Amino acid sequence: MTTLTQPLLSARGVTKVFGFGRQKNTAVDNVDLDLYEGEVISIVGESGSGKTTISKILLGLLTETSGEIYFQGAKRDIRSHAKKQEYWKNIQAIFQDPFSSYNIFNKIDSVLLDCINMRGGRSLPREKKVEMMSEACSFVNLKFEELTNKYPFELSGGQMQRLMIARIFLLKPKILLADEPTSMIDACSRATILDELMHLRREIGMTIIFITHDIGLAYYVSDKVYIMEKGKFVESGSADSVILHPKEPYTRRLLNDVPKIYEEWDLTTV
């Protein structure tokens, strides 16, 4: 893994506060993060720890209350719509729930065509577009001929999530933010989707931020792990050091929560 001296994306003191007064809620509290090109990092934490909030801030879907985000060394500027569009060519996301990720009124073709248009392929001939869409679908073991003119809700959850990966294949962003991409998927499809995701990463040299509550999954996919508790990163480091030698009690608790097939569950620690 080639690690450059300059991080691709970094966050410095990022804080997000929802509400005010008595209902004030600090979802993300003074978070620092560095993401180098080619890395896979995981942000692990339980529900409500602020994982999704930090991911939306990194994506630019939410505005941070304070702190700075640097993209490719320069301070990120996404105030205008054109600049946002430019930023989103570099950073894309896969969301947790495939069933709510698609506009149910748009056909699958239009989801994929949007990606081609975004990569400047608006004026390509129709055949070329179909060829690109077929290539993307076959990359995730879907057949474009079977999907064309269908609506997303006619697919299964696993197929929809694979279509999401096909979308990323077409967009070829520098950074992918995968927000629990497998948590709504059955266990059999889960491994396939993770494999396809890792395959895609090797294919287009993508950097991935993986957000999950499953520390075992994080160990399986990532180089670096950030453990998040109540809006703060309590522990971070290489996957091996954090997971095999956890320092924080919170990390140990997360590790204990992972179900093990050959051991009896210790319910006293829960």
Partner 1 sequence: MKHIIQQVFHSGKFVFGFSIFATILLIVIFYPLFVPDPPLTILGQGTFFPPGIYVSVYDSLSATSYTLNLDEAAAKRIASKLSQEDRQAVKEWLIAAGIPEAEIDPANTEQLLDQWFANYDSKKNVPGMTNAKRNYYIRLNNALKGLLSPDAATVSQTNPQTGEMEQIDTINQTDYVNVSEVANLRLLPLGTDNFGRDILTELIAATRVSLQIGFVAGIIATLIGLTLGLLAGYVGGVVDDAIMFVTNLFTVIPTFVLLILISFSIGQEQRGAFTIAVVIGLTSWVWTARAVRSQVISLRNRDHVNLSKLSGHSIVHIILSDILPYIASYVIMALILQISSGILAEAGLSILGLGPRTTEVPTLGLMINWAMIYQAHILGNWWAYMPVLVTIALITFSMNLMNTGMDQVFNPALRD
Point out which residues bind partner 1 (CB under 8 A).
56, 59, 61, 81, 84-85, 88-89, 92-93, 95-97, 100-106, 114-115, 118
Kindly tell me which of 82 and 188 has the beta carbon lying closer to partner 1. Answer: 82
- Helices and strands: H and E segment counts in the chain: 11, 10
Kindly tell me which of 101 and 236 has the beta carbon lying closer to partner 1. Answer: 101
Closest CA to 56 of 162, 179, 174: 179
Widest Cα–Cα separation across the chain = 63
Q: Minimal distance in Å, beta carbon 58 to partner 1? A: 12
- Which residue is it, tokens 């933010």? 177
- Which residue is it, tokens 């096909």? 166
Kindly tell me which of 89 and 253 has the beta carbon lying closer to partner 1. Answer: 89
Q: Minimal distance in Å, beta carbon 102 to partner 1? A: 6
Kindly tell me which of 39 and 180 has the beta carbon lying closer to partner 1. Answer: 180
Kindly tell me which of 42 and 53 has the beta carbon lying closer to partner 1. Answer: 53
Q: Minimal distance in Å, beta carbon 164 to partner 1? A: 9
User: How is 148-209 classified by DSSP, letter by letter?
Assistant: TT--GGGS-HHHHHHHHHHHHHHH--SEEEEESTTTTS-HHHHHHHHHHHHHHHHHHT-EEE
Kindly tell me which of 93 and 218 has the beta carbon lying closer to partner 1. Answer: 93
C-alpha angle 31-34-36 in degrees, rounded to nearest 5: 160
Q: Minimal distance in Å, beta carbon 87 to partner 1? A: 10
Q: Minimal distance in Å, beta carbon 239 to partner 1? A: 27
SS3 26: strand
Q: Minimal distance in Å, beta carbon 171 to partner 1? A: 9
Rounded to whole angstroms, the Cα distance separating 131 from 121 reads: 12
Kindly tell me which of 95 and 219 has the beta carbon lying closer to partner 1. Answer: 95
Any idea what DSSP says for residue 5? S
Q: Minimal distance in Å, beta carbon 270 to partner 1? A: 30
List CB contacts of 251: < 8 A, sequence separation 6 or more. 215, 227, 234, 235, 242, 243
